[in-house]
Amino acid sequence: MGIKVSASLMCMDLLHIASQVQILENYIDEFHMDIIDWHYCKNMALAPCFMKAIRTISSVPMEAHLYVDNIDMDLIDLCCESGANIITMPPEIIDRKLFHIHRELKKRHVGFGISLNPSMNVDVIIPYGHLIDRLLILSVDPGFAGQPFIETTYDRIQKAVQLREENHWHYQIEVDGCCNEKYYQKLYQSGADVFIVGGSGLFSKSKDIEKAARTCLDLIKKETLCRNG
């Protein structure tokens, strides 16, 4: 299929976590963990302890996406110890310690990711693009599921592809927010490498989580058969 699929566990049925995780791990490539502190945006969601619990029942790679106003090494260490394979952070929060955080993550063999809100210019990554393992492009404002897709996302993905090619950088381009069959084809054609699927792309497809996962993958496959459409 040529695309990685990451399930946003913020959108899962929290009353059936273990059973849903054990089914989903047979279908998806990663678990996406939104860690939200109420300060960066007005919502609260998962925490490192949630990742740690998931790690006891699954070996699927996990991404910790930090929507946190005060990111320090204590939090980053906690995410690493809890099983995160990559940690994605807002650049405006870590700008004064970005290179230090990258070095520390490299020591821990954990990937370094940057997340860009819809209003942010992709050019912001130019000083450190060579360090990034994953560039997460938000297609909605941060913090809440169910928002409408922002159409300028396609241009921002294309700009990220251009920068990567011109500079021989290595990051994957990930899309987060309203990622579903209405947008898969154009997102893929624009150059996205990873789809984060949540409420509209995965969990709403069926109350039967296995059927939902199969439907999600079938729709992605249908819409991404060819990069050039």
Catalytic residue numbers, as ranges = 34, 176
Can you tell me the distance from the alpha carbon of 149 to that of 101, in angstroms, rounded to the nearest whole number? 31
For residue 18, the SS3 value is helix
Give the pairing type, strands 62-67 and 30-36. parallel
Query: Tokens 């942010």 label which residue?
Result: 120
With 0-12 / 13-18 / 19 or more C-beta atoms within 10 angstroms meaning exposed / middle / buried, residue 217 is middle
Give the end-to-end CA distance of the chain in Å, rounded to a whole number. Answer: 14
Rg from Cα positions in the chain:
16
Closest to 160 (Cα-Cα) out of 142, 147, 175: 175
Nearest residue to 53 (alpha-carbon basis) of 23, 87, 22: 22
Cα–Cα nearest to 61, from 84, 81, 89: 84
Residue 197, H or E segment = strand 194-197
